[in-house]
Structure 1
Amino acid sequence: MTIYDLTRALPDPQTLRDRCRALAALELVISGNQDGGYFSYDPAWGPGEEAAFMENGSGDEYAIVFTEHGVFGLGFAHESPMSPWGDEDTALWPGLLDGIPEVFRPQLTEPAFCEEEGVLQATAVFWRETADTAWRAGKVDFPADEPYADGVDDLFEVLAAGTPEAYRAFAEDYYEADLPLDAIRHLWELRPLTQEIVDALNPGLPLEAVGPRVARCGYPQLR
């Protein structure tokens, strides 16, 4: 999967937003962490902005920003030959930002997405304005011998698949635990979080402890 496969696979912005919130809630419940871990969501990222994040702890990450103008996303695979740190020029891969709308240009200099040199840390970039009917990306020529060099396949695999089953396959491997599909589906559909669901995913974790954390990540329903 490359950035072009991703832009075909992603759902509409509202469905994507819900999917991102579900991933963040599942992370908080299963891990028991007080803060976001692998997947996280900030409903107050900036004025009129919400943002979803993935960080795998090994240098790979993505960010998706939901704004009044639409949605901007980027991914960074640290071992990709398309990384801006692949040579002394520290320049973005050619074509990565071709055609990006002016309304998303402030994201390109957002400090959270750039290194100290002010270079956007990205091997994949995509966007969708509010009036668009499809996701878009720049005109990228991939390295001839590495057609999947942007790292999108690994970065966005769970998000693009968009199913509870795909998330469970990831989470059982990552957490080395057996996880009930029904409980995962419950959160995936943003249904009310209950103690029963928490117990199914993380026995012994009190709802009163995890509930406020889940609410802060934008999850809509607690019980």
Structure 2
Amino acid sequence: MTVRELLSSLPDPTTLRAHCRAVALLDAVLDPRDPLHTFVPDWREGADLARMVNGSGDEYAVVFDPAGVFLYGFDHESDATPWREDDRVHWPGLLDGLPAALSAYPSAPLFQCEDFFDATVCLWRETGDGEWRSGPVEFEDGETDGSDWLFDLLVDRSPDAYLRHAADYYELSVDRDAVAAVLAGTPLTRRSVAALSASADFATVADRARRIGFRIDES
């Protein structure tokens, strides 16, 4: 999979935002100090930010702006890495066609590495548009841009996909029903938090959940 296939695999922005929020909350329960996925509401001028940084040089970010959604990923080992050249250059066409309303995001300091936007995948969807779009990038058979794995949890939004993530990344076995409830947007309860992690403090988790806009049931 490259960005060309990813375009048709992502859900609408509302569904994507809710899913990113839920995944960030689940990760925060499993690892309060250093979750892989995070969600920051009102990160920048009314825009929310979902982000993944794995500590091994790979990451993605999804900016939910009133003007639309800007999504990028960076797989440092992919064929499309800007580091394939001594003077970093983007894969041809990567940012071509990026709408003016979203064009400031590649220059955001958070997404810069040594004053360069390190990205191997980039796509967007303006508010009111019915489709995800990308630049006119082309790949030969076997070439990759990171789309085949970076966004697994955004493409497969099932509880089972998250269970695989928890087992692989955190080496934890997690209650499927509790995961399914969070992914469905069901208000967080003491029982669901305890099912996710016996050591989790409900008050701490509930406070974090409120801050990212997740509903709580304290009954």
SS in structure 2 of the partner of residue 50 of structure 1: strand
Q: 1 CA distance for matches of 2:199 and 2:74?
A: 36
The TM-score with structure 2 as length reference comes to 0.95
Query: Whole-Å Cα distance in 2 between the matches of residues 78 and 111 of structure 1?
Result: 19
Instruction: Name the aligned partner's letter for residue 50 of structure 1.
Output: D
**Residue in 2 that maps onto 1:25:** 25
**Structure 2 counterpart of 1:185:** 180
Matched, 1:53 2:51: yes
Question: What amino acid does structure 1 have at the position aligned with 2:67?
Answer: H
Aligned length: 218
Q: What is the CA deviation profile of residues 164-203 of structure 1, one whole-angstrom value per residue up to 9, with x for unaligned ones? A: 1111111122222221110000110121111111111110
Partner of 1:77: 75
CA distance in 2, matches of 1:221, 1:98: 42
* 1:146 equivalent in structure 2: 142
Distance 1:25 1:215 in 2: 10
CA distance in 1, matches of 2:215, 2:94: 35
Question: What is the distance in 2 between the residues matched to 1:165 and 1:139?
Answer: 34
Counterpart Cα distance in 2 of 1:92 and 1:49: 25
Q: Deviations over 1:10-48 (max 9, x none)?
A: 1111000000000001001122x14x5211000021111
In the alignment, the residues of structure 2 paired with residue 210 and residue 136 of structure 1 have an alpha-carbon distance, to the nearest angstrom, of 36
The one-letter code sitting in structure 2 at the alignment partner of 1:27 is D
Which blocks of at least 5 consecutive residues in structure 1 are unaligned? none
2:200 alignment counterpart: 205
Taking only aligned residues, the RMSD between alpha carbons, in angstroms, comes to: 1.3
| From 117, 120, 124, the counterpart of 1:120 | 117
Distance 2:46 2:217 in 1: 24
Cα distance in 2 for residues equivalent to 1:106 and 1:222: 39
**Alpha-carbon separation, structure 2, partners of 1:145 and 1:186:** 40
TM-score scaled by length of structure 1: 0.93
User: Separation in 2 of the partners of 1:153 and 1:56?
Assistant: 16
- Measured after TM superposition, the shift of residue 145 of structure 1 is 5.2
1:89 is displaced (CA, Å) by 2.1
Q: CA deviation at 1:2?
A: 1.2
- Of 130, 133, 136, 1:133 maps to 130
| Higher RCO (C-alpha under 8 Å, 6+ residues apart) | 1
- Counterpart-to-counterpart distance in 1, 2:82 and 2:64: 25
Cα pair 1:93 1:123 within 8 Å, conserved: yes
CA displacement at 1:102 relative to structure 2: 0.9
Task: Give 1:215's aligned amino acid.
Answer: R
Q: 1:99 Cα deviation (Å)?
A: 1.1
